[in-house]
Amino acid sequence: MSVTARPIPDAPPSALADTVLERLTTEYPAAADPERAVGLRAYMRDVAPFLGLTSPVRRSLSRTVLAGVPRPDEPDCTAVALRCWRLPEREYHYFAVDYLRRYVTHCSSGFLPVVRHLLTTVPWWDTVDLLAAHVVGGLVTADRGLTREMDAWIEDEDLWLVRAALLHQLRYKEHTDTDRLFGYCVRQSGHGDFFVRKAVGWCLREYAKTDPDAVRAFVAEHRTRLAPLSVREALRTVGP
């Protein structure tokens, strides 16, 4: 069975998650800015309600929440992430993303179904992109067998899984699997959604920082298939 086809379990028992969530749901609401929350919700196309925390305030509060809390194991990461995701306000989702970015090396390949759940539940670019590049990318780095899952995601009907597959190598630089990178871009070159077309260009542009000639050659070969947006993004920093 595909690792991401397994059902998502309920959040496992975790004393650490109990502590984190108790602190989190005390500290964050106390600093809420309802007026700013309205603007953030509109900017994010009404994907979720917001508390209205600025990024510096949120990060400062997160440090308070985590002060003295031990490092998690994988069940702790699962519990924190799933319990945060069940809370409506978007800042709790941001906390979970930051937490997983910090502790992804504490998780095995078996954690990928949890990440898939996060990618496809209340999805928008603000959480998907960070999860893809930092969490999915980290898991695949640790277990290259997960590339089979990326091969499945790139063909998925869910556009956010497609975007995650495109972006999971964003930070790989010289370790990029170029066959997969270019193959994924060709496979989704005709996708109808803006966010996928943008991701095609973005992952190419990022790899161009490592091998600009390879990206120029790829775009030249496939220019008629690639969306104009993807081409512009891919060549933005290296030229035609």
Say what the pLDDT of residue 189 is.
96
**Do residues 71 and 105 make contact, with C-beta atoms less than 8 angstroms apart?**
no
Q: In this structure, are residues 216 and 235 in contact, taking their beta carbons and an 8 Å threshold?
A: yes
Give CA angle at 198 (193, 202), nearest 5°.
155
List of the chain residues with pLDDT < 70: 1-9
Place of tokens 């969490």: 135
Annotate 38-60 with b (16+ C-beta within 10 A) or e (fewer).
eebbeeeeebbbbbbbeeebbee
Contact 37, 50 (CB under 8 A): yes
Residues contacting residue 145 through CB under 8 Å, at least 6 positions apart: 109
Give the pLDDT of residue 1: 41
- Closest Cα partner for 100 from 87, 112, 88, 86? 112
Provide the 10 A C-beta neighbour count for residue 96: 23
pLDDT tens digits for range 181-210: 999 999 999 999 999 999 999 999 999 999
